[in-house]
Amino acid sequence: MVDWSEVDTVLLDMDGTLIDLYFDNFLWNQRLPEVVAEQRGIGVSAAREHLYGHMRGVPRSLDYYSLDYWSRYSQLDIVGLHRELSHLITYRANASRFVRAVRGSGRRAVLVTNAHPKSLAVKDARLNLTGRLDAHYSAHVFGCPKQYGEFWSTLNRHDPYDPARTLFIDDDEDVLGAALESGIDQVLCVAQPDSQAPKRSALPFPALDDFEEIMSF
């Protein structure tokens, strides 16, 4: 699945790749609508549609991933909700072990995420994520999400890597496509980003379920 003889750098997504996406799905799909319903005196279904209707109208810009943007829109403490549910933040199967093995093999392990820095901070406080990696970058610092080529060119200028000797792992098909277009040679898609949701099939990229599947350096 991975030709490790051709890999010097491993770029890793955070939510749904290193971290179980259950936390984010529960927060955004369940807890936030409940709080909005309480705030507005409406049903949870109506609150969910209020949020989702607005989300559907927000393009995949940085606003879509910005906790500050959604705090302003909802008039709620979104960071506080992250902290309230932080006990749900967990690594995906063997993710921490994989990162340790990558670095132990002499390769670099670098986090690249669309997550807002405040979201990253909450998860980092729970899991010591950034302390396990060689470097970490949020798209908000670069001013462009990973779905666009500008992100990848900015990343490479900021922290040079050889795309032909790079592996990138993510759960988002659009992001993986953009990475391939940027020249990254090997990509993998996470088949089950949320441990509480069904495993996805018929993905357009090679897929993994557990990091142990590719730990043969």
Long-range contacts of 23-29 (CB under 8 A, 24+ apart): 23/85, 23/88, 23/89, 23/90, 23/123, 25/194, 25/196, 25/197, 26/85, 26/88, 27/81, 27/82, 27/85, 27/88
Q: Which structure tokens are listed for 90?
A: 């967990």
pLDDT of the residue at 102: 98
pLDDT averaged per 10 residues in sequence order, the chain, 217 residues: 96 98 96 94 91 78 92 94 98 97 98 98 97 98 96 97 98 97 98 97 94 94
Whole-structure pTM value: 0.96
Give residue 162's pLDDT: 98
pLDDT at 195: 97
Give the model's pLDDT for residue 217: 87
pLDDT of amino acid 51: 87
> What is the Cα–Cα distance from 8 to 197, expressed in whole angstroms?
33
Closest to 91 in 3D by CA, of 216, 217, 211:
211
Res 187: pLDDT: 98
